[in-house]
Amino acid sequence: MMLTELTIAGAQGGLRRREFSATELVGAHVAAIERLNGRLNAFITVTSDLALDAARRADAILAGGEDAPALTGIPLGIKDLFCTDGVRTTAASRMLEAFVPPYESTVTANLLADGAVFVGKTNLDEFAMGSANITSAFGSVENPWKRAGDEETVLVPGGSSGGSAAAVAARLAMGATGTDTGGSIRQPASYCGIAGIKPTYGRCSRWGTIAFASSLDQAGPMARTVEDCAILLQSMAGFDVRDSTSVDIAVPDYRAACGRSLKGMKVGIPAEYRVAGMPAEVEAAWEQGIAWLRDAGCEIVEVSLPYTKYGLATYYIVAPAECSSNLARYDGVRFGRRVPGESLDALYEATRREGFGAEVRRRILMGTYVLSAGYYDAYYLRAQKVRNLIRKDFENAFRTVDVLLTPTAPSPAFAQGEKMDDPVQMYLNDVFTVPASMAGVPAMSVPAGLSASGLPLGLQVIGRSFDEESVFAAASALERAAGFTHRPAVRAEVV
């Protein structure tokens, strides 16, 4: 049995039937990491010894005959933006290269309470700022997929949660946490041929997660199947009194929503997502997804989200402004990297120059500019007004439909080196994912097929606030119809 090929749902059953042990399951993934991480660079920190110790404890619980928590013995990767007690947490930045938190983030604490085993901290774009996982201070991540007939070209995994996506796709972990600010779960999920959901803003606590843009950041799961994402989100979600943006609302049974009948569900197709220059294969995948949902009993409805065209521009005012504010704390005085200077100002300048990479510095500069006197009203305040209009677009659409269906990304994964010299082209990778982030609504990417070059293409299901169940139901139907069983060229083969 190829233990690294199991889904989380499959492993849960196998562990409880004693077909294999947690130590064997975790050991197979640890061995895969040891063999492939030097190439993929999906993990910044590997915690093999801690993982195997946790696996042995999981075996003791499973052998005791007691009701084991849902994730007992399941090996997961944790995006290196979640603080983990006693384990280095870097945000992929030299600024926090040596930071070891003395506390656990709420999301990871919830997963640990449900028995999960952490095999390491996954790579990401520095401070979650990027769409290709090329801005990490610890090196770029390689997408385990290859273009058909081209084994040499290295493709990007998407970002910022590229390490998590690559680890799951390559079978180095059964699932992983991600964070999504403007598409950082969904876009890498699409590029790497896996599933990933950004829940409603406020569904998962942000406490203990290193901040990029506080009004947008949201934790979510990434896994190889929709059902596995549902299992993970069940553990990750919940109210947290320590997070003022956490919403006190019951967490439903997400797994039960997978496979639910779609008869009578209304699916909106937003006209504004048919952007100029969209590749024919992306549009064809979208049309195929529409046909699959129609065949599943859904009613297809054309809808309009007129302010969508302003989503990306609005995002790149709001997000850098919040980034500028959040990252002001890294000054070399209280914690993180410190570079000596002849004066306090010189210390600040030297520390931030050496601690932050080029993309982070770019966004801090943009954010500081739009918040500065004389420009606040012209840029930031106006962007917040447009953001409210974007939110109202979604509210209006959801008066007539239950979910929306769109492409996840405007292209399949591109090669390292392509688009890298043009920040605007890089930002355009998030054109389909940003609007849902601006509105705070849940959205999920699910693999829908392959491009002409043999690379994964994803479709995005967007739902009403706190109606992740409908998102899971529609995404599960797409997954069944697509029958996506393709595997990347670079993956674990450890028994």
Q: What is the pLDDT of residues 17-57, one digit of tens each?
A: 999 999 999 999 999 999 999 999 999 999 999 999 999 99
- Residue 270 β-bridge partners: 303
The whole-number pLDDT of residue 19 equals 97
Q: Which domain holds residue 389?
A: 1-495
CA distances from 58 to 11, 64, 259, 435 (A): 13, 10, 30, 41
Q: Catalytic residue among 131, 161, 184, 465, which?
A: 184
Write down how long the chain is.
495
Q: Is 160 assigned a catalytic role?
A: yes
Q: Is 146 assigned a catalytic role?
A: no
For the domain that residue 224 is a member of, what is the CATH number? 3.90.1300.10
Handedness of CA 370, 376, 379, 383 (dihedral sign): positive
What are the b/e assignments for 407-428, b being 16+ CB within 10 Å? bbbbbbbbbbeebbeebeebbb
Count other Cβ atoms within 10 Å, centred on residue 375.
13
Question: How many angstroms separate the CA atoms of 418 and 431, rounded?
Answer: 18
The whole-number pLDDT of residue 495 equals 39
Instruction: Give the 3-state DSSP-derived string for the chain, with helices as H, strands as E and coil as C.
Output: CCHHHCCHHHHHHHHHCCCCCHHHHHHHHHHHHHHHHHHHCCEEEECHHHHHHHHHHHHHHHHCCCCCCCCCCCEEEEECCECECCECCCCCCHHHCCCCCCCCCHHHHHHHHCCCEEEEEECCCHHHCCCCCCCCCCCCCCCCCCCCCCCCCCECCCCCCHHHHHHHHCCCCCEEEEEECCCCCHHHHHHHCCEEEECCCCCCCCCCECCCCCCCCEEEEEECCHHHHHHHHHHHCCCCCCCCCCCCCCCCCHHHHCCCCCCCCEEEEEHHHCCCCCCHHHHHHHHHHHHHHHHCCCEEEEECCHHHHHHHHHHHHHHHHHHHHHHHHCCCCCCCCCCCCCCHHHHHHHHHHHHCCHHHHHHHHHHHHHHCCCCHHHHHHHHHHHHHHHHHHHHHHCCCCCEEEEECCCCCCCECCCCCCCHHHHHHHHCCCHHHHHHCCCEEEEEEEECCCCCEEEEEEEECCCCHHHHHHHHHHHHHHHCCCCCCCCCCCCC
Q: Catalytic residue among 21, 79, 146, 419, which?
A: 79
Nearest of 69, 64, 42 to residue 142 by alpha carbon:
42
Residue owning tokens 């306090």: 344
Question: How many angstroms separate the CA atoms of 80 and 290, rounded?
Answer: 36
* Rg of the chain on CA atoms, in Å: 21
Q: Is 79 assigned a catalytic role?
A: yes
Nearest of 408, 385, 390 to residue 462 by alpha carbon:
408
Question: How many angstroms separate the CA atoms of 165 and 161, rounded?
Answer: 6
Q: What is the mean pLDDT of each run of 10 residues along the chain (495 residues)?
A: 94 96 98 97 98 98 90 98 98 97 98 98 97 97 97 96 98 98 98 98 98 98 98 98 97 97 98 90 97 98 96 96 96 91 95 96 96 92 97 98 97 88 73 97 98 97 98 98 92 65
Q: Catalytic residue among 21, 105, 140, 160, which?
A: 160
The structure tokens listed for 127 are: 């401070």
Total count of domains within the chain: 1
Q: Tens digits of per-residue pLDDT, 336-379?
A: 899 999 999 999 999 999 999 999 999 999 999 999 988 999 99
The whole-number pLDDT of residue 231 equals 98
Count other Cβ atoms within 10 Å, centred on residue 330.
23
Q: Between vectors from CA 161 to CA 437 and to CA 368, what angle results, nearest 5°?
A: 60
